[in-house]
């Protein structure tokens, strides 16, 4: 007799604490109830999940994490999956392959589970020519790159991407090239060739000295900056007036929950430019799942104009190891968890 589908209980990765690191506290709940979506939610079988720093960094902030994240919590925002039951009024049908994210919350997204209840407008159809693993990498990193670049530049602009080999960086280089920009990316020596292969016109190796000084010496004046690294001293921002045009916006995407970073961000907000503060506008950013943006990026990927860069792939049972890899900070591209591709059967 065939097993019921969907099953009444499912497997879901959860944590109750992050003491010592989220990856050390993940447990696999093998009898979690199947989610019950409301009328504005799809029930989706998850096929692949891509991990991002936001999946663990907020959760590991002492004290604050207990206030902002309900326990038990399930990490994971980026996903690709299959529609089991579409939301009321949706154009999707049972069996459609989709990609996006379950919720609008950047915290404990819930995707690291065999099935999820997903907000109606948070996923789009998987285009022909794009596989589920590659599509699962898009929502956080791809949307961040897309939304911090496409609406803010024009053809011919010079764009600087700090951290070109990370999750956002690999998308950022390619997206900026698709819309016709000249791209300079920064990375370590080991990742120079990767950034070049993605289309970067110039690659600055931070192992060879201060990036800010190298940029100043180049004489290039940038129209737009996307900083995926942040860091503690934020030298790249404090000196950005030396290598950017007046009116350029410095997009701060990366960062850390360290005290040093917090102090620098406070100084940026509090000290005016005439007293030695920053001389360019700085903006923080977190991506939102906009269906039109997801569809455009999916189309570019299906056409081969943008590609996913996969650092490593882990099985569903190896989710904790996937987080260990992500937390090394040495991943070249994205870390993906294969949730059900080996067992998935088209509905």
Q: What is the CA radius of gyration of the chain?
A: 21
234 part of a folded domain: yes
Residue 183: CA count within 13 A, CB half-sphere? 27
Q: Tens of pLDDT along 254-294? A: 655 555 555 555 555 655 555 555 667 888 887 788 999 99
Q: Would you say the C-alpha torsion 269, 274, 276, 279 has a positive or negative sign?
A: positive
**Shared domain check, 212 and 101:** no
CA-closest candidate to residue 116, choices 105, 131, 127, 126? 105
H or E segment to which residue 46 belongs? strand 41-51
**Shared domain check, 166 and 188:** yes
pLDDT number for residue 114? 97
pLDDT number for residue 64? 60
**Shared domain check, 154 and 129:** no
pLDDT number for residue 178? 98
Q: Give Cβ neighbours of residue 56 (< 8 Å, ≥ 6 apart).
A: 18, 21, 22, 23, 75, 323, 326, 327
pLDDT number for residue 204? 98
CA-closest candidate to residue 52, choices 81, 77, 27? 77
**Shared domain check, 147 and 117:** no
293 part of a folded domain: no
**Shared domain check, 70 and 20:** yes
**Shared domain check, 181 and 122:** no
pLDDT number for residue 265? 54
- Of the residues 284, 300, 328, which one is the last residue of a structural domain? 284
**Shared domain check, 148 and 241:** yes
**Shared domain check, 245 and 257:** yes
How many structural domains comprise the chain? 2
344 part of a folded domain: no
**Shared domain check, 105 and 201:** no
pLDDT number for residue 161? 98
Please tell me the pTM assigned to this model. Answer: 0.90
345 part of a folded domain: no
303 part of a folded domain: no
């994490």: which residue's tokens? 65
User: Is-contact 176 151, C-beta < 8 A?
Assistant: no
Q: Which residues of the chain have pLDDT under 70?
A: 1-2, 63-66, 231-233, 254-279
Distance CA 59, CA 45 (A): 25
The CATH number for 103's domain is 3.90.180.10
pLDDT number for residue 264? 58
Distance CA 315, CA 329 (A): 20
**Shared domain check, 273 and 147:** yes
C-alpha 183: how far from chain center: 20
Reading the block at residue 269, the tokens are 């907000």
The CATH number for 231's domain is 3.40.50.720
**Shared domain check, 321 and 272:** no
164 part of a folded domain: yes
Reading the block at residue 31, the tokens are 């009898």
> Helices (H), strands (E): how many in the chain?
10, 15
**Shared domain check, 161 and 254:** yes
pLDDT number for residue 193? 97
1 part of a folded domain: no
Distance CA 96, CA 84 (A): 8
297 part of a folded domain: no
pLDDT number for residue 67? 72
Q: Domain of residue 160: give its range.
A: 141-284
Report cis status (omega within 30 of 0) of the bond before 72. Answer: yes
CA-closest candidate to residue 113, choices 10, 3, 8, 6? 10
């Amino acid at each position: 007799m065939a097993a019921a589908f969907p099953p009444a209980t499912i497997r879901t990765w959860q944590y109750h604490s992050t003491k010592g690191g989220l990856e050390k506290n993940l447990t696999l709940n093998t009898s979690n109830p199947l989610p019950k979506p409301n009328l504005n939610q799809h029930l989706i079988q998850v096929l692949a999940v891509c991990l991002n720093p936001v999946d663990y960094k907020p959760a590991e902030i002492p004290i604050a994490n207990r206030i902002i994240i309900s326990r038990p919590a399930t990490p994971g925002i980026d996903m690709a999956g299959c529609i089991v039951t579409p939301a009321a009024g949706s154009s999707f049908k049972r069996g459609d392959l989709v990609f996006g994210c379950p919720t609008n919350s950047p915290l404990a997204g819930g995707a690291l589970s065999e099935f999820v209840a997903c907000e109606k407008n948070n996923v789009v159809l998987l285009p022909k020519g794009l596989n589920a693993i590659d599509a699962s990498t898009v929502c956080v990193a791809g949307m961040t790159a897309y939304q911090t670049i496409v609406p803010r530049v024009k053809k011919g602009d010079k764009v600087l991407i700090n951290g070109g080999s990370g999750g956002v960086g690999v998308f950022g280089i390619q997206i900026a090239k698709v819309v016709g920009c000249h791209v300079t990316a920064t990375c370590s020596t080991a990742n120079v060739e990767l950034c070049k292969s993605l289309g970067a016109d110039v690659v600055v190796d931070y192992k060879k000295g201060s990036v800010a000084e190298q940029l100043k010496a180049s004489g290039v004046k940038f129209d737009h900056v996307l900083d995926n690294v942040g860091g503690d001293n934020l030298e790249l921002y404090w000196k950005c007036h030396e290598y950017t045009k007046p009116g350029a916006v410095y997009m701060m995407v990366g960062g850390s929950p360290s005290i040093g970073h917090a102090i620098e961000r406070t100084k940026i907000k509090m000290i005016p430019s005439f007293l030695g503060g920053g001389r360019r506008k700085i903006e923080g950013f977190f991506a939102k799942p906009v269906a039109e943006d997801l569809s455009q990026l999916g189309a570019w990927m299906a056409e081969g104009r943008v590609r996913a860069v996969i650092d490593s792939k882990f099985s569903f049972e190896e989710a904790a190891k996937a987080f260990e890899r992500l937390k090394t900070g040495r991943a070249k591209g994205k870390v993906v968890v294969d949730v059900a591709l080996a067992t998935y059967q088209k509905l």
